Amino acid sequence: MARVTSRRSASLRRSVIGAALFVLLAPTAVFATEEPVPRPALPVDDTVPTGEPEAAHAEIHVLVKTDVVATVEQLGGVSEEVVEDWYEVEVPPGVEAADYAEDLQDRAGVEAAEVDAILESQATPPFNSTDPLYTDTGSPMFQWHLHAANVVSAWQTTVGAGAIVAILDTGVNDGSDGFCHPFVAEYNAEADLGGTGAAFDADGHGSHVAGSVAQCSDNEVGGAGMAPEASIMPIKVFPAAGGALASDIARGIDWAVANGARVINMSVGCPVSTCSTGTSPMNEAIARASAAGVVMVSSSGNNPIDVYYPANHPEVLGVGATTRSGSVASYSARGIGLDLVAPGGDTSGSGLVWQDTSGGYDGKAGTSMASAHVSGAAALLVSRFPTAPPTRVRNALTCSAEDIGPEGWDGPSGFGRLDSGAAVEQLRLMTEAGTSNCVTQGGDNATYGSVQSTTGFWRLHKGPAQVAGFYYGNPGDIGFMGDWDCDGIDTPGLYRQSDGYAYLRNSNTQGVADVSFFFGNPGDVPLAGDFDGDGCDTLSLFRATEGRFYIINRLGSGDRGLGRAQHAYYFGNPGDAPFMGDWNGDGTDTPGLRRNSNGFVYLRHSNSQGVAEVEYFYGDPGDVVFTGDWDKDGDDTLGLYRPSTGIVYLRNSNSTGIADHSFGVGAGLHVVGGEF
């Protein structure tokens, strides 16, 4: 898939700077959302959202930027500095905060003035339980969401050791399961207080988010988190009721940076109708954090409208939500600023995201849950590659995301669905190449095709890019590629099971077959290759009922079919998946098998009965094999298409190991090798 390589004291302080931001969790059964209203009363509206909610802001003070203390004093009322050069200034009685902020814009010595927005929590109702397990697939509290994020692949090389993740939320409690490491630099941004217990979580939302990031997973209790060896920095930005002020969030960001956080998770949001350009104190704090090497992640919003702020900020990863089925959640905000989607769940019992809170394990759903998974993945990345700059980490997550919508970026899913294992590998490749652009370790020259079996649409791929597309054949046809006219270019072929015919075309364009003939028996598997080294490909077959290869060195003719085989031999066991390739570079294609029962590959160097010359293990159960010369060294090697993820994995040697290249091509495809 083609990728864009880069993107874009407490008397008066009881709100967030300029606009009200929301903790982003999905609501109850019908994905109701909390409707933000002026503080302190913020009831849940248990209805489906019908439009953009109006964001609240602090009514008793506004925010003023000035570097002259005397200017603040001249404004009258009580004032207090919240973050660098920004002050809370008391609003006079009987005056609207917004009007007062507008009036202050014209005062001498005032650089900027704005309301202090409130970011609201969108929490699901509590659903407590005590024994969710990472491994128990039969449990209604099964942590499907960690599996969906492919964290097991990332765990092969990193578990988040040394990474500090700041959770800007309702606070964090240790819970019944706990975290592997003590909390770091706890802080209550609302009260501007630090120390043990300062960020006590009376709500449970922040604890749930922190659990998805770094729940301890080596204690044989409950469930796991994405980065179990990471450390959590709890930063409380939400009061006991109502939303978080932007000023408190900005203060929390600065605290996180000053105390060593490498990742900041912000499950908060303000709709673009109110925060079209964000809030200045938060924007400045975000810029300082990015300059300090901090990766920032935020939930996109629980209303299917434009992505909320700060998720839409170019230096913040905006994260939408997917359900257990892997599709984009109906409540997930979308559009400009959305970078990727991750498991956020839905409100069905088996579709909730399960993590420990102060009241035991709880099931929740929302984009808050999704951003937590991405923050956990970011912790895995910065643990493995501690010097990687934020842009590189962000791009590693988007470059490696599994495309689940139209090719490339799209509004509902961004660059695709989180694959934490692929993200670790992508960051490795970026680090080795010294770039923040998407890289494939030299796989840009690998050529292969894919066929959408339900439509007959062919795509030709070169590395991650699609280079051609055309319709050829009918739904259900079995596709393959070969050099039928000996011109050195592989073109499409089809086997139509409904009439038993093979249809070959001599150009990679839409049109009718140039050659067609009757082919074998029902259930025979077509195998394309050059079986005699003459430079021309023909079509042979594997008869699964016999476990026998039939090698034919000519193309068939109409109803007469293929005629008598030049060679016929037994190789392999019933149920083996057959394929052909030039394994030793001698110009002749010979058989190979992959045994689905054990994942072993068996290759033979001649078209004759005998034992395999090469044996090795490669892939997972359910992977589909295709072959080609990915690195153009003259020897064919294996590719695998994983239907469950829509990713192809190419390896440059016939030996056990990990893939040298991997590309997302999409689900529901039949993938074939080819030179074009």
The dihedral of CA 28, 30, 33, 34: what is its sign?
negative
Strands 316-322 and 340-343: parallel
81: phi then psi, degrees, rounded to nearest 5: -75, 130
CA distance readout (Å), 456 to 273, 447, 462: 44, 19, 20
| Strand segments (E) across 96-137 | 112-122, 128-129
Residue whose C-alpha is closest to residue 380's, from 167, 213, 513, 577: 213
DSSP letter assigned to residue 27: -
Rounded CA-CA distance 541/527 in Å is 5
Cite the active site residues. Answer: 169, 205, 368
**DSSP string of 227-254, one letter each residue:** STTSEEEEEE-S-SSSPEEHHHHHHHHH
Q: Exposure string (b/e) for 294-307, b if CB count within 10 Å is 16 or more?
A: bbbbbbbbbbbbbb
* Beta bridge partner(s), residue 491: 482
Which DSSP letter does residue 646 get?
T
Contact between 268 and 22 (Cβ < 8 Å): yes
At residue 555, φ and ψ (nearest 5 deg) are: -85, 150
Residues 6 or more apart whose Cβ sits within 8 Å of residue 281 = 17, 18, 63, 65, 82, 83, 86, 246, 247, 250
Residue with tokens 């020259």: 445
Task: Find how far residue 355's CA is from the centre of its chain.
Answer: 20
- Which 8-state DSSP code applies to residue 166? E
CA 148, CA 345: separation in Å to the nearest integer? 11
